[in-house]
Amino acid sequence: MYQFNAATAAEADNISAYLDETGKYKGKFTRAEKLISSNKGTHGIGFTFEDESKRTARFDLWTVDNMGKQLMGFKSLQAILAVLRFPAGRDLKIAQAQVDRYDYDTRQTTKVQAETFPDLINRPIGLVMRNTEYEKMRDGMKTGETGWRLELVVPFQADTELTASEIVGNKTQPQKLAGIMATLSDRPLKTRTANGQRNDHGGPPPGHPAAGGVDDFDDARY
């Protein structure tokens, strides 16, 4: 009944349930939700990533604007498909599924039905994530506060640590990831808000549903 399990023991002092540091992680997506910005009609995918120690981070990739123009997130999505060895020419399937949705009024997370991409979830993947400072927004307006969240830098194949360009180039030995990690660091805002207010520690941790998601992006940028 009480046999020693090293993996469980290692989780005992893992206090935070959320990823909050710049670094390299291996795990899987547990959520890949179809997003459409209510402000500008931009399309994207909302991801929840769970690492091997069960800590999570949420981030969004905005892929195509309302005119069909590809955004930077489209390249990141293509890189994810490459490291997952997704077949060329095949469309991602869309299916209804329950996802976690944070309610800013009740400050609770509830389950809701949403369109999702099941081809992307529960498959081993590695992510390089960078802790990035951002200006908080609600209903299309800046709140005057800033916070921190993890953003995707580059995905890689979990078992080989090959990046997308190395896979497409038929490389067998990973080389790019080491160079990326050598120069990786947190990214603070280059400019301050109008009143200079900061909120680095007063809000939810990076990766928490309240620290990211549709409301933060559903505004001037998208």
Contact 73, 61 (CB under 8 A): yes
Predicted TM-score of the model (pTM): 0.79
Mind spelling out the 3-state secondary structure of the chain? CCCCCHHHHHHCCCCCCECCCCEEEEEEEEEEEEEECCCCCCEEEEEEEEECCCCEEEEEEEEECCCCCECHHHHHHHHHHHHCCCCCCCCCCCEEEEEEEEECCCCEEEEEEEEECHHHCCCCEEEEEEEEEEEEEECCEEEEEEEEEEEEEEEECCCCCCEHHHHHCCCCCCCHHHHHHHCCCCECCCCCCCCCCCCCCCCCCCCCHHHCCHHHHCCCCC
Distance CA 126, CA 128 (A): 7
The pLDDT, as a whole number, for residue 1 is 59
The tens digit of pLDDT for each residue in 21-75 reads: 999 999 999 999 999 988 889 999 999 999 999 999 999 999 999 999 999 999 9
Which residue would you say has higher pLDDT here, 151 or 103? Answer: 151
CA dihedral 176, 27, 115, 106 (to 10 degrees): -120
What pLDDT score was predicted for residue 106? 79
pLDDT at 16: 56
Would you state the pLDDT for residue 104? Answer: 67
